[in-house]
Every structure is written in structure tokens, then in C-alpha cells.
A = this chain, B = another copy of it.
């Protein structure tokens, strides 16, 4: 991916000091149509609170094949944090094009933006269009950006959508969608099983499965508070989950019988498992799978590896695969566009509900420390919702 950001360079430290101590109360367009913009940026890997800075610079008027974007909503995904920590395989682009003296990267990989101006040779995109990022690594935690359209996917119909809905469709719903479609050919009535079922991906999988007629067995973490566990079970059932169990229940020896009973005495087979937890829970799940099933890993919340008994692999032909939506998006941009459009249609029709989000308002005058605190907060365990920057009409 190549960024072509035309910038009017300002030094890094000066605006930082100014922006975090004396916020400018109103963005202004400078002479000749330059856009003032702010980015959450970092020059070195580390903890977000230590390395992220709110950095201001300006963007020249869009010309030739360039478009200028105004961001509308950009989520804070756990992967974004890992990227800042330097432990994520997809590296951000460090460059001096955002007016910093040292190579600097902008945080965030997902988001939706509006095109506010387009150069003369831009085709297929125009002012007012909503766009999402074609690939990760763009840097979406900023008020504005300038780029070529090859880095963007246009949302063909933005009617009836909120920025939050459009800005959070690329990662979690796409992950759930492709995992349900690309590994095992499920038919109406078929079962799958998943852990981390109340995660963004898990909730998306429950809803898509329900729409497609698949039936789901969902595993959530056991809460110390039994009523909280019951509330979560009910919440997922309301989304369309057929069965919801805790990890404790799934590791219990009664699990096989529970599953057998649920699947018509074991006559209905379970042939797909989605895993974002890891550890021994996956072995419990594997034991209830039919021959020739696939276990797809897309996360490792427990940080424990998956242990594979050879017998399951050889004699039951259970395959263990991985899925990373970033890789898939890079390799299949057209399919990504179709998947996104499909989910957004479902959202518009009221058939697909958002994951609970914590909206973090990013106004022109919002202080850097507030934004950075929201990023750092995502590190603290798995919240019911996740943070999303929702930008004011700056």
C-alpha cells in the first residue's frame, strides 16, 4: 500500500505540546484550502499510553488522483493495540508524510470516512461518498486523511446507516461471515459450535447463522455472578443463539450428553467449530465434532495454545485451520466489498444488530489524553462493548 499524503509539515513536538495543553477550540481552514487535521500517532512501539500522541498537521487541497477524507467512525480493536505494542504481524506504515520529523504511524485499522474533496482525475468516487479501508494498516484514528482511491472501498448505499454501523463492519462481521461460509459447506439446519460467543465476532456469527438457518452452540466465560451469566445467555439467545453454555459447562463430563440431546440424540452432526479462546476448551469442543470437521482459530484470548490429539486428526479427520480477516481482505478485495455490502444491507433491514459499543466522541477540541485513555482502556480485559471513536463535524 502506498500513501500519498500531501502535507504542510509542522514539527511534531510543537503541535503536540500545544494540542495537549492548549486545545485549539475551533478547526480552521487555512489559506488555499489546506485542511487542519489531528492524528493519534506513534513513532515507537510500546504501551499506547506511553507512545501515542495527538499530532496536528495540515493537508493540501486534493488534486489529480487524490481524495481527502473526513473520518466518521473508527473502532478501537484489540489488534490495533497489539499493533502499537509491536507484537502484531501486520505492521503500520511509518512515514514522515504526516508532517512529523521522525517516521510516524497513525493508529487504527478500521473505520469509515466521508470524501470531502476529490482531485480532477479521480474516477468512481465523489464528494459525499462513504468509504472504508481496502486493507489494514491505513491508520484510521485521525480526523482527516488524503489518499488515492485504490486504498478505499466505496459503500455503494449509505442510506439508513449510521457511521458507527458502517465503521465497524470490516473486521468482526466479515470474520464471522467468512468463517461460516469458507470452511465447511453448511446447509440450513446444520450445527456449528463456537467459544467466545459474546465477542463481536461471536455475536455476528450468531446473527448470520440465524439468518442462514444454521444452528449454533455457543460457549461463554462463566461469570462469578450467576445472574450475570444467565443475563448473558439470554442476551445471546435473543440474538438467535440456539444453545448457550459456559466454558465450565463445556469442560464438564456432562457436556457430551448435553450436546447429544441437543442434536437429536447425536443424529445431527456438528461439523464446524470457531475458536477465539484456545486451551483445553478446544479439546472439549473437538470431542463433539463429527468426522471431517474443521476447527477454525481466529483468536487466543486465554493465551493458551491448542493441543491436538493425533487420533482426532488421523482417524476423525479433524482439521485445524486459522483465519485472519486482514489476510483475507488483502487477497480478496472484491469479495470483501460484497461481504461488507451484504452485512450493511442486513443492518439496514434491521436484521443485524450492532455489538454494544462505547462511543468515544472525538471533537476538534477533545484532549489527546482522553483519546489515549480510551485506547488504553481497551487493554483492560474483554468488555461487553468496545470503544469506537465517533468524530464530530470538525
Contacts and interface: CB of A to CB of B under 8 A. Distances in A.
B327 A322 contact: no
Say which size band chain A's interface belongs to: 20 to 34
A134 to B, nearest CB: 19
Interface string A312-351: 1111111111111001000000000000000000000000
Q: How many copies does the complex hold?
A: 2
B319 A278 contact: no
A198 interface: no
Interface in A91-128: none
A90 to B, nearest CB: 8
Nearest to A279: B310
A362 interface: no
Contacts of A308: 297, 305-308, 320
A297 B278 contact: no
A89 to B, nearest CB: 4
A311 B322 CA distance: 9
A305 B310 contact: yes
A317 B322 contact: yes
Given A297-B313, A306-B310, A307-B307, 10 more contacts: A89-B315, A297-B310, A305-B307, A305-B309, A308-B308, A312-B322, A313-B320, A313-B322, A315-B327, A320-B320
A299 interface: yes
Contacts of A321: 313, 317, 319-320
A307 B309 CA distance: 9
A324 B318 CA distance: 11
Nearest to A328: B317
A368 B299 CA distance: 56
A335 B125 CA distance: 52
Top 9 nearest A-B pairs by Cβ distance? Answer: A313-B322, A300-B310, A320-B320, A89-B315, A314-B322, A297-B313, A306-B308, A319-B321, A314-B324
A356 B307 CA distance: 34
A255 to B, nearest CB: 20
28 contacts: A89-B311, A89-B315, A278-B310, A297-B314, A299-B314, A300-B310, A305-B309, A306-B310, A307-B307, A307-B308, A308-B308, A308-B320, A310-B322, A313-B320, A313-B321, A313-B322, A314-B322, A314-B324, A315-B322, A315-B327, A317-B322, A317-B324, A317-B327, A318-B322, A319-B319, A319-B320, A319-B321, A320-B320
